[in-house]
Amino acid sequence: MLSIKNLHVAINGREIIKGLDLEIHAGEVHAIMGPNGTGKSTLAGVIAGREGIYDITEGEITYKGKNLLDLPIEDRAREGIFLGFQYPVEIPGVSITNFMRTAVNEIRQYKGLPQISAGDFLKKMEEAKKLVGIQSKLTNRSVNEGFSGGEKKKNEIFQMAMLQPELAILDETDSGLDIDALKIVANGVTALRSDENATIVITHYQRLLDFIVPDFVHVLFEGKIVKTGGKELALELEAKGYDWLKSEV
Amino acid sequence: MEILTKDFSLAAQMVKLFDDNHDLIFKSDTPEITDRRKIALEVFKRLGFPDNKDEKWRNTDLKKSLQAEYNYYFEPTFQKGIDLARIFQCNIPHLETDMISQLNGWFISENGGIKKHADGVIVGSLAVAQKEFPDLFDQHFGRYADNEKSGFVALNNAFACDGVFIYVPDNVQVKMPIQIVNIIHHDQNIFVQNHNLVILGKNSQLQLVQCDDSVDHQRSLINTVTEVFIGENASLDHYKLQNKNDVATLINSLFFHQERDSRLSTNCITLNGGIIRNENYVRMNGENCEANILGVYLVDKFQHVDNQVFVDHAFPNCQSSELFKGIVDDSARAVFNGHILVRPDAQKTNAYQNNKNILLTDKATVNSQPFLEIYADDVKCSHGATVGQLDETAMFYLRSRGISIENSRMLLMYAFAAEIINHIKIEPLKIRIDDMVKKRLRGELSVCEQCVLHCSTMEKPINFEIDLSKI
């Protein structure tokens, strides 16, 4: 589904990702772990297509056989890529309902489908809300405005449920969540798992992976994937810390 | 009719026009009012029309507007019994107002020019009110519109013979909003000066909607003064809607005089116009006054909008809050000048001022000058001004959900303007303005054959939720 080969990315002339390779197939859950500042969020931003920050100096990314780097942000989303933001953006004046209806309809239009009916849309909203346990009145509020940290993260998963992506990238979705919120978020992600879609979970701690069980764990260190293993690698990292890796690299 | 040519100074021609037409200008005056007109003209002679050397006009250039040819009238430009509906209709669904109209600055009367309602409310022509209610008129006319504020105010005080007169007696809560429609429609360039006077008695309440529209594409110079007296513990909810053609110059001066415990909310929505200058003066003349002064402007092409706000905190324990937001596109220019004066005795004043702008192009400009002048020591005041582009991170967030660049921009601009629109307390008006803002942002709003309020393709007034699929 997603194939990254020899990716090099610089920010303001400083190389952050230094030759990264990653293969992701439908049905898989990949965890990317690593200490702060090693390029985890940069990788997420590059896949989602954020403009004006990243300079891709080398390498390629193909997604479903297409050159992903040629696609603008919105087309990547319409092709099924979803980024759960580490810091969801507040957009005063735009209600979540309208935001989602626009997004759903633009994606449907891209796929040549008619606009979603009001009834179907409401039904979809209800299901997605139930999945992450957010209250009805929240969706009438402006996007993320005045939301608590937990509400913002739940709102990301809610949007994921609404848009049903093929490839979801969750960037530090666990940060700032208490254990209850973490469980809700993780259960949401798990419920959305299928053989057709894939998930990349970017996280600092092993904690989230107790709830979202990964098929692969990659350790990103100084811009490269230095180690790949199964879910047990996460436990090993938790026990030994990242210093253990430094000595190995 | 008199012709003002572009070959001589307009100021000199106006002075001569005044001297030559005493009989027409003074015809309904008490001696007192005639004296005030003469004083105003002397002030005008001294001040003249403002130019860029004047600090307050540094960023608004009227040269072109003042060097055009205009027709000037001392009598209504239309026949008695004119069928207004043929020129203009206000078609806001579900908006029920007590509508009164002015055409080229003259009150359009149906029955003698003035109506006295059972509850004592008087609504009608200023010229008629001057004759029929001389006491009320003399007590308030020209008392708040200070000649020294600008040559335009002085000139208006000297010349204006008609406009709208509204009187709400003590303890009367007017249920239906009053809507003043001011239409400019003429086959020649025209210079219009009208003067509105609104008087709210003690404990009274009024919602007032003032609409300024053009229905043709002729050049015009409009110099409007509105004086508003808000009595003790009275409440005024005021809206100003401006949708003029691209060659109209509108100088709109509003003077609000608040007595103790009174409340004012005024919201100025500028959707189109050549040059629009709004001067808002708020005088807090007693304790515990509250004023919310809001505005939103959406300008493009070569349009120019200038909002000036002066709040005079003369007494303790008053609150004022200003928020003006604008989206400036193409080569358009916006000016904001906010001045809060807190006098020495005005302790416990709370005064806030904010101006936020989004510039959509490199050629668009904004000049924003917030200014606080504080002589009391126990006050809370703040001011702020921002000029920026659409937020990059927000754009990324919206686009990352599959929303196109165009729609993402539209959403963010709409959301930006909506903060002001949401303050509109008359629900049908809010829905309509909301529609108009959306249309404006999509580039679909123009000065229509009738008025923009009478759009041929009306959007569905639903729940105030935007149907973004249509944006």
Paired tokens of A221: 């260190």
Residue B356: per-residue pLDDT: 95
- Mutate which: B325, B393, B397, vs A, most A CBs within 10 A: B397
Q: Where are the domains of chain A?
A: 2-248
Residue B419 host element (H or E): helix B405-421
Residues of A in contact with B465 (CB under 8 A): 95, 97-98
Residue B14: per-residue pLDDT: 96
Q: What is the DSSP letter of B470?
A: G
Chain A nearest CA to B405, separation (Å): 8
> Can you tell me the mean pLDDT for A119-128?
92
Residue B201: which residues within 8 A CB-CB, separation 6 or more?
A: B167, B168, B169, B170, B171, B172, B231, B234
Residue B327: per-residue pLDDT: 93
Residues of B in contact with A85 (CB under 8 A): 397, 400
SS3 state at A72: coil
Is the Cβ of A85 closer than 8 Å to some Cβ of chain B?
Answer: yes
Chain B nearest CA to A75, separation (Å): 6
| Interface A:B, Cβ pairs < 8 A | 87
DSSP annotation string for B235-303: EEEEEEEEE--TTEEEEEEEEEEE-TT-EEEEEEEEEE-SEEEEEEEEEE-STT-EEEEEEEEEE-TT-
Give tens-digit pLDDT for B100-138: 888 888 888 766 788 999 999 999 999 999 999 999 998
Residues of B in contact with A89 (CB under 8 A): 391, 393-394, 396-397
Give tens-digit pLDDT for B29-70: 889 899 999 999 999 999 999 998 998 999 999 999 999 999
Which of B76-85, B419-428, B455-464 reaches the highest mean pLDDT? B419-428
Strands (DSSP E) found in B300-364: 304-313, 319-328, 333-342, 350-359
Is the Cβ of B31 closer than 8 Å to some Cβ of chain A?
Answer: no
**Number of Cα atoms under 13 Å in the Cβ half of residue B63:** 5
Distance CA B314, CA B341 (A): 8
Is the Cβ of A13 closer than 8 Å to some Cβ of chain B?
Answer: no
Residue B452: per-residue pLDDT: 34
Strands (DSSP E) found in A64-163: 66-67, 81-84, 91-95, 142-143
Residue B252: per-residue pLDDT: 95
Q: Where are the domains of chain B?
A: 2-285, 403-471
Distance CA B228, CA B198 (A): 5
Neighbours of A42 (CB within 10 A): 22
Whether the predicted pLDDT of B182 surpasses 50:
yes
Mean pLDDT of chain A: 90
Interchain proximity A77–B468, CB inside 8 Å: no
Residue B437: per-residue pLDDT: 81
Is the Cβ of B413 closer than 8 Å to some Cβ of chain A?
Answer: no
Residue B432: per-residue pLDDT: 83
> Can you tell me the mean pLDDT for A41-45?
94
Confidence of residue B28 (pLDDT cuts 50, 70, 90): confident
Give tens-digit pLDDT for B288-320: 999 999 999 999 889 999 999 999 999 999 999
Whether the predicted pLDDT of B89 surpasses 80:
no
Find, in chain A, the residue whose alpha carbon is nearest to that of B418.
A93
Beta partners for residue B157, in sequence order:
none
Distance CA A78, CA B400 (A): 9
Confidence of residue B85 (pLDDT cuts 50, 70, 90): low
Tell how strand B235-243 and strand B263-272 pair up. Answer: parallel
Distance CA B313, CA B351 (A): 9
Task: Closest CB to B399: pick one of A74, A94, A163.
Answer: A74
Chain A nearest CA to B408, separation (Å): 10
Chain B nearest CA to A97, separation (Å): 9
Distance CA A96, CA A103 (A): 10
Interchain proximity A97–B465, CB inside 8 Å: yes
Interface of B with A in 370-409 (CB under 8 A): 391-394, 396-405, 407-408
For the domain spanning A2-248, the CATH number is: 3.40.50.300
Residues of A in contact with B468 (CB under 8 A): 98-99, 101-102, 105
Give tens-digit pLDDT for B401-453: 999 998 898 889 988 998 899 899 999 888 888 887 887 777 765 543 333 33
